[in-house]
Structure 1
Amino acid sequence: MEKANQSVGITFILLGFSEYPHLWAPLFLVFLAIYTVSVVGNVGMIAVIRINPKLHTPMYFFLSHLSFLDFCYSSVTTPKLLEILVVNIKTISYMGCMMQFFFGCTFVITEMFMLAVMAYDRFVAVCNPLLYTVAMSPKLCILLVASTYSWGGLCSLTLTRSLLELSFCGSHIINHFGCEYSAIISASCSDTYFILMLVFIMFIFNEVCSLLIILSSYLFIIVTVIKMPFAGGLQKAFSTCASHLTAIAIFHGTIFLLYSVPSSKKSLLFIKIATVFYTVVIPMLNPLIYSLRNNDVKETIRELINVKQLFSQCNFD
């Protein structure tokens, strides 16, 4: 902790996309638009689920938490990204950096397992439809959600604690737009072997566990669908799972690419782009994916729009 105490007064310089000054204004406008759509989409999804009693089911309970996580981890990083695109002094305090890493890491790992929980929910819905409401009781749903948040927080706390042991010397430059773990490690003058191994082991463990749950759930779903005697079973199951599978493919694909690429100078731009994708773009895509493919959500949105139009017309009259 002595090293951490010595580092508290440090201010990091975030390079962001400083090598492309001609792109700052366009990037700011693009990221601001994406972030706005993300916030409106995720908050709107939570509101729609709470408003419509038909959506008070385990699947939508998990979906509301997925939207909450998307909103949170997008809001941890994106405001700072927008700030460093418009200000001349691109800095972040040591504690601000550690807190950004902690919360960002917590929400990402939590979402990783939230997607796994949603896969289990789809498995129960397709394979045991008659027992679905009994098997996915409110108590179990709350327990599953609480477990994902707890595990995400515990993993993030472990990684943040290891970062606090690092010492920083020299220029304190972080070649990133945020406090991503590889960028923080690159700015340290300590021996980073232990933390690199810790991150690698934790990443492999979380990826394997979450993907194992997802793949097992969908394997049982596929077997169940194949055994269904009626032709509409496949279409119904695909309609139920398609949105979730799309979200899984985008999220895990991006995370895997990001953490499988070595932190070398040649990969720095790739790391920044991949981080932008999973912290800014994916939180915007998830509400669009689920709303565009979900009739209940689209019906609720249409009803809200009609009520608003009717209310506006009455006020005008």
Structure 2
Amino acid sequence: MSLQNSSIKVTEFIIDGFVTTKNPLLVGVVILIVYIVAVLVDIVNILVIMYKKKLHKPMYLLICNLAAVDLLYSSSVSPTIVGILVAGVKTISYVPCLLQMFAFHLGQVMEMFALSVMAFDRLIAVSCPFQYHSYLTNARIIVLTYILWIVACAFVAFVPATVIPLPLCYSVLKYNFCSYAAVIRTTCVDPNYYFNLIASIAFFLSFSTFGFICLSYVGIIYFVKLSSNNEKKKIGSTCLSHLIVVTCYYLPLFIITILTRFGVVLTLEVRNGLNIGTIFITSLVNPFVYCLRTREIKNEIINMFKKLRHHIRF
């Protein structure tokens, strides 16, 4: 009997990726705390930029977009992971699983796009400082951001489009949440074709965006050499924040992509750990980096808390 003929009707999946986790309650509480802190800081970033008119500038709009992406990225899987580890809820219905899969991969793609356009913004700011505000207006940044979200949705639409028609033979996910790889392994078909297909798309997106970021920094380094010492310090300070978030996102991503392409077999626990690390490290580091290293945002947040404390006293 073929696997297609032995397909079953699956209304919910059992997530079995944490069976080897020691002290799941402790791990779940830590992840919950990290998630809450990341969400709060992202929301503060967004609110400060939205309500302070003097921050209505291209760079801050891009930071606001990155915060929105991080909210999507972390929120797509965190409730499921925390529910499994803390509350012991190991099941997820079929449709919510597909929605989670789409949201998770959309967050992945948008993270790459957001970091790429931020690198381009820094390049224009360094190479054309006097024409910067005529080249990158608020309206153009908003339109560009909408276009990136539409393009990202078009790329990620491939994920449910290939999964939904496939017959299912298993109801247990060996991963920590509903990702493309997790759901494909529950189908009755040979997963290698689909893994190679999604790996090709992931490889193209990750290396093209990372290559674009690298080229942008080649241009930035060239123009930095022509700048004065004071300008070099200012440029270095603004670019360092971006380099930190780029490293936090792409490093674990390349470990998974490059090592597996060169035949290194990662255990399920290692792969799950890298996936979770990519999500939570990125979502936690990004808002704090831009809060602490961007003087205007930091000052506005400090002033906001001073006013709040003053109102509480009186």
Q: Is TM more than 0.5 here?
A: yes
Q: Residue type matched to 1:256 in 2?
A: F
Q: Paired residue for 2:210?
A: 211
1:69-103: per-residue Cα shift (whole Å, max 9, x none)? 10112111000001111344511122221111111
User: Is residue 74–residue 283 contact of structure 2 (8 Å, CA) maintained in 1?
Assistant: yes
SS in 1 for 2:13: strand
Q: Paired residue for 1:183?
A: 182
User: Deviation of residue 25 (structure 1)?
Assistant: 1.3
Moved more, 29-38 or 172-181: 172-181
Q: Distance in 1 between matches of 2:219 and 2:8?
A: 51
Q: Paired residue for 2:196?
A: 197
Q: Paired residue for 2:239?
A: 241
Q: Residue type matched to 2:212 in 1?
A: I
Change (3 A) 1:111 1:88: closer
Q: Paired residue for 1:222?
A: 221
Moved more, 45-54 or 115-124: 45-54
Q: Distance in 2 between matches of 1:227 and 1:149?
A: 36
User: Is residue 42–residue 67 contact of structure 2 (8 Å, CA) maintained in 1?
Assistant: yes
Q: Paired residue for 2:248?
A: 250
Percent of residue pairs identical: 27
1:207-251: per-residue Cα shift (whole Å, max 9, x none)? 1221222112111111001112x2222211101111011101111
User: Is residue 172–residue 186 contact of structure 2 (8 Å, CA) maintained in 1?
Assistant: yes
Q: Residue type matched to 2:169 in 1?
A: C
Change (3 A) 1:161 1:293: same
Moved more, 234-243 or 10-19: 10-19
Q: Residue type matched to 1:242 in 2?
A: L
Please state if 1:232 is matched with 2:226. no
Q: Distance in 1 between matches of 2:92 and 2:123?
A: 44
Q: Distance in 1 between matches of 2:88 and 2:80?
A: 13
How many residues align? The count is 307
User: Is residue 261–residue 267 contact of structure 1 (8 Å, CA) maintained in 2?
Assistant: no
User: Is residue 106–residue 156 contact of structure 2 (8 Å, CA) maintained in 1?
Assistant: yes
Q: Kindly report which structure 2 residues correspond to 1:93-242, keeping only aligned pairs within 5 A, or say none.
A: 93-170=93-170, 172-228=171-227, 230-242=228-240
SS in 2 for 1:12: strand
Q: Which runs of 5+ in 2 are unaligned?
A: none
Q: Paired residue for 1:292?
A: 292
Q: Distance in 2 between matches of 1:87 and 1:100?
A: 19
Q: Distance in 2 between matches of 1:124 and 1:55?
A: 18
Moved more, 230-239 or 108-117: 230-239
Please state if 1:12 is matched with 2:13. yes
1:260-303: per-residue Cα shift (whole Å, max 9, x none)? 45499852111111111122231111111111111111111110
TM-score, with structure 1 as normaliser: 0.91
Q: Distance in 2 between matches of 1:269 and 1:36?
A: 24
Q: Distance in 1 between matches of 2:296 and 2:8?
A: 52
TM-score, with structure 2 as normaliser: 0.92
Q: Distance in 1 between matches of 2:10 and 2:17?
A: 22
User: Deviation of residue 7 (structure 1)?
Assistant: 6.5
